[in-house]
Structure 1
Amino acid sequence: MNTKKILVSVSLLGALLLSGCASVPLATQQESAQAKSFPVPEQNMSGLYIYRDSFVGKALKKDIYVDGKCIGETADKVFFYTQVSGGQNHKISTESEFSPNDLTIFTEPGRNYFVRQYVKMGVFVGGAGLSESAESEGKRVVSKPSVRLAKTGHCDN
């Protein structure tokens, strides 16, 4: 096989891997609807929504951790909801190609926060990053009928 054919084969394989769809265990429709009502967090707590809606890397699942605790695996069009202590910093981490990517946010009690996980092209496999979203943008994405609440507690690493 010549070099050109090898490059075309590798490119096609990469495109297939990045365009397929991964699936993760989902919560019930009722649990998803409850989380999408954006309840006020419990006293002295903050709500934390972590969602993924990136076009790239649909075949990839990526672990999410909050303060070192496994929240779960993400796939495209899923979100997690958890409550964290208000009035302090929290570290949200996701696996990436070579090392974890972290985002630290300070949460005020009684408020909901939104973090977007996105998948980006990598050398061997797609990596993942995190960014804090404005509340209006986070609510807009999470509210979509196609975005579902994922079950918590399962990470591969």
Structure 2
Amino acid sequence: MMRKLMAAVVLTAVLLMTGCASVPMAGKNADAKAKQFGPSQGGTANLYIYRNEIIGSAIKMPVLIDGVEAGDTVAKAYIFKTLPPGSHTIVSKAENDSSLTVDMQAGQNYFVWQEVKMGVLYARSKLHLVTEATGEDGVRECGLVKGDGSAEMALAATANAKLASTTPTSTTPTAEAAPTEPNPSPQLAVAPNQVQSSTPVATAPIAAAVTSTPEPVAKIKSAAQDLPSQTAAVAPVQSMSVAAITPQDSAAIAAIEPLAQSVATGLGCGAVQANGATTFIAPCGTYGVLIDCDSGQCRPIHTVHVKSDE
């Protein structure tokens, strides 16, 4: 019995100190952008989970956020996620499960160190919330694990559904309004000096009115599995107008518009409409999705309210 225990300890030590596990890694541009440590946009928060030690290089450790698979870490690697603000529980799975709950605020960066320890039959881990200075130094020693954006979208959809379920519905009777002319079909609000996209905006998806928030969110969530190029979160719904476009932007828009339309079609949305030189808005029922094409890939950023003409 003692010999078996010693053999297991020796085997664990060998696995911890030798070998090299691998996971898909993101490109240099995505890694460099994440390491700028800029504040998160669109009312979200940035989360870095890093593992900057050599120990345990032969072992991959899965990471879950609020029960959603966020990816696997290896030695000298980090996971970067953009999440809705609020309380999030992170779990590192190894011989043990290490859990850490972090209360995140919009526009802030949060750093979690995944410490690796020697176990009996397998490696163990422990999660630590560290300061920004410590976290940035640790992340700089690591490479970015590749993600497809599905974790962020699932978490954002869950947050939106939770918000919708907790929003009270008014039951106060209202006075009968005088007859008015029927409202025109909802349209995206366009600035007066906007140069229109060459692709007409589809109004059919908008005409099929959506009466609650979860439906467009669920549609976006289910389509996420078919969009491997997505790398950013769909944040909570925001109200916004389409930005003005200068004539100099027209050539760039024409080049990347088909890519943005491909993402919109995968999400079940209508024809995209330009919103600046590198962003587009696609109508999805009574909501729209903001699509960013700044990094050579087009990916959904967050949902927006569609404004009706009055």
Instruction: Report the TM-score range of the alignment, normalised by the length of the smaller protein.
Output: 0.7 to 0.9
* TM-fit CA distance, 1:16: 2.0
Decide which structure has the larger Cα Rg and report it. Answer: 2
Separation (CA, whole Å) in 2 of partners of 1:110 and 1:17 = 39
Equivalent pair of 1:44/1:110 in contact (CA under 8 Å): yes
Runs of 5+ consecutive residues of structure 1 not aligned to the other structure: none
TM score, norm. by length of structure 1: 0.84
Q: Secondary structure at the residue paired with 2:102? A: strand
Q: Partner of 1:76 in structure 2? A: 75
Which residue matches 1:152?
A: 147
- Structure 1 or 2: more helix by fraction: 2
- Of the three residues 141, 146, 149, the one matched with 2:138 is 141
Q: Which residue of 2 aligns with 1:34?
A: 33
Segments of structure 2 that go 5 or more residues without pairing to the other structure are 151-310
How many pairs align? Answer: 147
- TM-score, with structure 2 as normaliser: 0.44
2:87 aligned residue: 89
Distance 2:14 2:134 in 1: 30
Higher relative contact order (CA 8 A, sep 6+): 1
Q: 1:133 corresponds to which letter in structure 2? A: V
- Tell me which residue corresponds to 2:106: 109
Give the Cα separation in 2 of the matches to 1:107 and 1:13: 39
Of residues 121, 124, 134, the one that matches 1:127 is 124
Summarize the alignment of residues 37-48 of structure 1 with structure 2, pairs less than 5 Å apart: 37-48=36-47
The structure carrying a bigger strand percent of its residues is: 1
Q: Given residue 37 of structure 1, which amino acid in structure 2 is its aligned partner?
A: Q
SS in 2 for 1:32: helix
> Following superposition, which runs of at least 4 residues in structure 1 exceed 6 angstroms of deviation?
none
Contact 2:49 2:112 in 1 (8 A): yes
* One-letter identity of the residue aligned with 2:104: T
Identity of aligned residues (%): 34
